Chain A
Amino acid sequence: MATDVNGAAEQSGGLVFHPMDQFIIKPLFGDGAVGMFTVTNITLWMAITVLATIALLVLGSSGRSTIPGRMQSIAELAYGFIRKMVEDVAGRDALPYFPYIMTIFMFVVMANFVGLLPGAFTSTSHIGVTAVLAMLVFISVTAIGFIKHGAGFLSLFWISAAPLPLRPILALIEVISYFVRPVSHSIRLAGNMMAGHAVMKVFAAFAPMIIISTGIGLVVTPLSILAIAAIYALEILVAFIQAYVFTILTCVYLKDALHPAH
């Protein structure tokens, strides 16, 4: 994908830079090819994400003062928010899986927010990253379902509330929608992050218009700078909502695994 985008950037001469250039994965050291274990810019920013998460949660909970400071407030807020979500959506018997869901949420939300820093690389804008997260959820949820209920987990696809002649058709649809889950789960996050950042870059490419032509530039440059600010504000909202949606869908899938009977 990266090479295709690069090639497209060379062909089109319109914009100062291509809006998809920001998603190209480059090796961090040297200019070699990107292999399986190459340390790339996405590795660096994922490491920063993990370190930021650890810093927030460990430093935030280390003080344990009765009147929480700013960091402790954020850490406690995140913990209480996700715990309540797991309880409300997946039920009380899903609480043993709370640490996993908390980890997913903190990683995704932190990756989204770190990616919003100017010049940063948004690791969640790559389907490769989100697909791993979604496949982990898919595989672990399926495994939990089969371990807890054995073959009874398959009753998730056999809807006993529907009329008997309809059940095979519904079972087919349910099976398809079950296996499509990791696809939509991962592409929702990656697509939203990628689209938002690409839109920002498109307006950023229009911003230096005043250098090229003063006449059009006087109108276009302030408008595009305003648009970048507005879209940046929207992106802060989207960064949180997409992490929230990713986590809440994990809870929904977990609920299906724990209570497969409709």
Chain B
Amino acid sequence: MEGDIATMGAYIGAGLASVGMGGAAVGVGNVVGNFLAGALRNPSAAAGQTATMFIGIAFAEALGIFSFLVALLLMFAV
């Protein structure tokens, strides 16, 4: 148990930043859920839109990645 308050703050901050990933989880779930809701109503059109779904997932996930980035920066760069 050694270290200083700055390190402690960095670790706590990294943990808090990880909470942002929950937002990404909500976003990705929202995208896929809405895709599935639409796909079950019109299954014939679903196959053509899977790529769009993955692009939507990627953009929703990007903001969760920034929270991960903040956590990494606090852990290793600050």
A193 CB to nearest B CB, Å: 13
- Interface residue? A188 (CB, 8 A): yes
Contact check, A4 vs B68: say whether CB atoms are below 8 A apart. no
Contact check, B51 vs A89: say whether CB atoms are below 8 A apart. yes
- Interface residue? B57 (CB, 8 A): yes
Contact check, A248 vs B76: say whether CB atoms are below 8 A apart. no
Which interface class (under 10, 10 to 19, 20 to 34, 35 or more) fits B?
A: 10 to 19
Contact check, A187 vs B69: say whether CB atoms are below 8 A apart. yes
- Nearest opposing residue in chain B for A241, CB measure: B54
State which of B55, B57, B68, B75 has its C-beta within 8 Å of the C-beta of A191.
Answer: B68
Contact check, A184 vs B62: say whether CB atoms are below 8 A apart. yes
**Cα distance A65–B38 when bound, in Å?**
41
**Cα distance A245–B65 when bound, in Å?**
14
B27 CB to nearest A CB, Å: 13
- Interface residue? B58 (CB, 8 A): yes
- Interface residue? A88 (CB, 8 A): yes
Among B61, B62, B66, chain A packs the most CB atoms within 10 A around the CB of: B62
| Residues of A close to B55: CB separation below 8 A | 89, 248-249, 252
Q: Mark B52-78, 1 if CB is under 8 A from A, else 0.
A: 001101100110011011000001100
**Cα distance A241–B55 when bound, in Å?**
11
- Nearest opposing residue in chain A for B2, CB measure: A11
State which of B48, B51, B68 has its C-beta within 8 Å of the C-beta of A248.
Answer: B51
* A188 and B58 contact, Cβ closer than 8 Å, known pairs A4-B76, A183-B69: yes
**Cα distance A88–B50 when bound, in Å?**
11
| Residues of A close to B68: CB separation below 8 A | 187, 191
**Cα distance A79–B44 when bound, in Å?**
25
A residues lining the B interface (CB < 8 Å) = 1, 4, 85, 88-89, 180, 183-184, 187-188, 191, 241, 244-245, 248-249, 252
**Seed contacts A184-B66, A188-B62; 18 additional CB < 8 Å A-B pairs:** A1-B76, A4-B75, A89-B51, A89-B55, A180-B62, A183-B65, A183-B66, A188-B58, A188-B61, A191-B65, A191-B68, A244-B54, A245-B54, A245-B57, A245-B58, A248-B51, A248-B54, A249-B58
The 26 listed contacts between A and B (C-beta, < 8 Å) are A4-B76, A88-B51, A89-B51, A89-B55, A180-B62, A183-B65, A183-B66, A183-B69, A184-B62, A184-B65, A184-B66, A187-B65, A187-B68, A187-B69, A188-B58, A191-B68, A241-B54, A244-B54, A245-B57, A245-B58, A248-B51, A248-B54, A248-B55, A248-B58, A249-B58, A252-B55
